Amino acid sequence: MTTPYEINRRAFIKSNAVVTATAAVAPSVQAEDAPDDGLIHRNEQSGMPYRKLGRTNFLCSRLVFGGGAALIGGKAVRLLNAAFDAGVNFYDLGSNAYYKGSERAFAPFLAANRGKIWVTSKAPLRPIDGYEAGKPLTVQQGKFLADYWTGLLDASLADLGTDYVDAYYLMGVGEPEVVRCEQLHEAFLKAKKTGKVGHWGVSTHKRAQQVLEAMIATGWYDLAMIAITPAGWYDWDSKSLLPGTPAMVELQPTLQRARDAGIGLVGMKAARYLSFPGGKGLEKAFDGHYSDKILQSGLSAWQRSYAFVLAHGVDVVNSDMQNFAHFKENLVAVQRSAELFAKA
């Protein structure tokens, strides 16, 4: 999440043991001896906090392994087992149409841990020729998107070496009319009925407020992966904060309505603005949203942003982690979030 150095796995395990020993967390609960509470339990370990992910009823690690970019070329495969050992039970991938080879790089790990982890993937829809933003989709346009999405799902399943994935997202959606597309919904229901996918979601980092509002209105979606920071919505096009965005504390009513609608909220890009666009001096950009307690916590700027979003509306946070240092830093931020933001 910050410094680009590497630490070897032995050093990571040693340092993680120290953090785990001091964290105030629930004891380990394994899937085979999970309580009969109606929740789905997978790979729960002491040292990792968990949260029910909307109506999926999956008890999810609050840190999600974002494997789309990280696994391109297999460069972060060595982190998969380290994340598993630390209690990460949600791994998010991306299709070959966008993240070249990440699903294929993940396939051996999935084969070794099927039933112990929650796996999602996603792919961007193809732009529709002649479509005008804000206008309703025609039936023909909807069928085109539905067929295209189904093909992407099938390709992802093949690359993952499986016949089922826990959820599959519409990726990078910025148009609410796509969210409301009935033909896409019918394609998902068909895929679910045939056992290819369990849940449906949307990832968005453009017009996220409008997209999330549309998701709430339809009642169709189980997961929303949203680009959000302590200062509000992150915009992918500008690689900056969305102009005029409310701060995250002001967005909590919207986020609560999404949770009330059964949508599990996955935060992403929580700290991306601090590193992009390539400028120095952005590390303090969110400091005005933190109390003195947070600023004096010893957490880095990146860690503070992760801890903050977890305490102010999202259920879990998805992070692209490409070395052991990144993973260790993220793990500490997730572990300390509840402690730092506990209400007096």
Residues near 102 by beta carbon (within 8 Å), at least 6 away in sequence: 67, 68, 69, 70, 71, 72, 93, 94, 96
Query: Which residues 6+ apart lie within 8 Å of 175 measured at CB?
Result: 133, 134, 207, 211
- The residue with tokens 């506990």 is 342
- Structure-block tokens of residue 85: 């050992």
Checking if the pLDDT of 2 tops 50, the result is no
Q: Where does the pLDDT of residue 276 fall: very low under 50, low under 70, confident under 90, or very high at 90 and above?
A: low
What percentage of residues in the chain have a pLDDT greater than 90?
Answer: 70
For residues 315 and 300, what is the distance between their CA atoms, to the nearest angstrom?
Answer: 21
> Which amino acid, residue 243?
P
- Average pLDDT of the residues in 140-152: 94
- Structure token digits, residue 262: 């059964």
pLDDT one-digit tens code per residue, 327-344: 999 999 999 999 999 863
Greater confidence (64 vs 18) lies with 64
Q: Domain 9-340: what homologous superfamily? A: NADP-dependent oxidoreductase domain (3.20.20.100)
Per-residue pLDDT reduced to its tens digit, 170-216 = 998 989 999 999 999 999 999 999 999 999 999 998 899 999 999 99
Question: Mean pLDDT throughout 224-253?
Answer: 94
Q: Which residue has the higher pLDDT, 247 or 33?
A: 247
More reliable by pLDDT, 165 or 127? 165
Tell me the C-alpha distance between 275 and 56, whole Å: 33
Give mean pLDDT, residues 245-251: 97
pLDDT for position 282? 84
> pLDDT at position 51, please?
97
Q: 39 exposed, middle or buried (CB, 10 Å; 0-12, 13-18, 19+)? A: middle
Cα radius of gyration rounded to whole Å, the chain: 19
For residues 50-68, give the mean pLDDT.
96
Distance separating alpha carbons of residues 175 and 265, to the nearest angstrom:
19
For residue 225, list its beta bridge partners. Answer: 203, 266
What gap in Å lies between CA 183 and CA 244, rounded to an integer?
A: 34
pLDDT value at position 281?
Answer: 66
Look at residue 134 and tell me whether its pLDDT is greater than 50. yes
Taking the C-alpha atoms of residue 215 and residue 263, their distance in angstroms, rounded to an integer, is 9
Distance CA 260, CA 252 (A): 12
In terms of pTM, does the model score above 0.85? yes
Give the pairing type, strands 50-52 and 59-61. Answer: antiparallel
Q: What is the pLDDT of residue 37?
A: 86
What pLDDT, on the 0 to 100 scale, is given for residue 95? 87
Q: What is the mean pLDDT of the chain?
A: 87
**How far, in Å, are 182, 272, 276, 285, 330 from residue 281 at the CA level?**
46, 14, 11, 8, 21
Q: Is the pLDDT of residue 287 over 90?
A: yes
pLDDT in tens, 84-117: 999 999 999 998 877 888 999 999 999 999 999 9
